[in-house]
Structure formats: C-alpha cells, structure tokens
Amino acid sequence: MRFLFPLVLLFTALGLSIYAYLGGLHSPTVALETTVAPVLLAGQPFAGKASEASFGELFRAAKTTQDARSLPAAQALANLYYNDPEAAHDSIRAFVGLRVADTLGRLPAGWRYRVVPAGRRTMHARMVGTSFLLAPGKLYSAAEQGLKDLKLTKQPPYLEQFGPGDSSELWLGAK
C-alpha cells in the first residue's frame, strides 16, 4: 500500500510529460474571419458512422499519399465535414484528403477535387506545435467558445487542416 501513492505520482508525472510533449499545453488563437480565397481539396468522400473502419482508411490513404508525394501540389492533410456528427448521432458526411494548390497533379484512383468557396464567414482557430492527435479537440472547443462569446452559431461545412510542423487549423462556419 505504501508503494501505491508513489506509483500514482509517477504515472501522473509521466502522463503530464507526454501530454506536454505532444503540445497539450498550447492554446489556439481564434478570430472571426471571412475567407479570402477558395480552398482546393483532393480526396475521397465518406458517408456513414464515424466509427466505421473505412473512415479511418481514408485518413491513412491521405497520409500515405502525402508521404509518397504523389500529389506535388499537396500542402496539408485536410478534412471537410458537411454535418455536425454530434447533432447527427455519429452519422457523418465528410471529404477526407489533402489541401492542394492546383489541379495539375494526377489524382489517385477514386479521388476527386472539392472546392470550399471564398467569402465564407468563419471562426478560424489555429495552433502550432501541437500533435494532430490533440489538436482537433482543442481547436473545436476554442472555436465554439469564440462563437458563443460573439453570440453566433456554427454552420457546416467545417474544414480541418493539419500541416507541416504540427500546425493545425479549423474553419468553423459562423452565422
């Protein structure tokens, strides 16, 4: 019993160290913006439950494509969500892939282009130095709090981006 307390302290310190190493102590910056330029995405659509294995496969395919540099214009991993999974009871409509600069590259089989038009009013949350494992939760909570502070409501689609150097961004539509 006398070893239990030191073990709890050790595991707590280890957990906090890992959390800090992954960037969990960083806070996102949030601003209400209007998108200036359209965003071009290359990827694959998905409709179904977020817990389906095929949804995870889309993310792995996007990461593999990015690592293989088979799309030279690829800038970041990007996901476009057309609905709020919380409101739709875990049913999701999404587009998973990469943000690209142009349409000149040859797409992998089954991939398509999608454009997020300019001129959308969004709550833009950004973080640098935080792992993509922790970033979505922090970005969504900060963006939703920003909307709540301004007495606005969120409106799909939502755009997530995970770029080089552990930079993460979220555009949460606002109305």
Per-residue model confidence as pLDDT tens digits over 8-41? 777 787 776 666 666 656 778 899 999 999 999 9
Q: What is the CA radius of gyration of the chain?
A: 18
* Span 144-162, average pLDDT: 92
Whether the predicted pLDDT of 131 surpasses 80: no
Which DSSP string corresponds to 42-53? EEEEEEEETT-H
Q: Look at the alpha carbons of 85, 89, 90, 92 in this order and tell me if their dihedral is positive or negative.
A: negative
Cα–Cα distance for residue pair 154/98, rounded to 1 Å? 23
Per-residue model confidence as pLDDT tens digits over 60-82? 999 898 888 877 777 889 999 99
Q: What is the pTM of this model?
A: 0.81
Tokens found for residue 110: 């089954």
Domains of the chain, residue spans: 23-37+119-175, 39-116
Cα–Cα distance for residue pair 49/126, rounded to 1 Å? 27
Per-residue model confidence as pLDDT tens digits over 81-107? 998 766 767 789 999 999 998 888 788
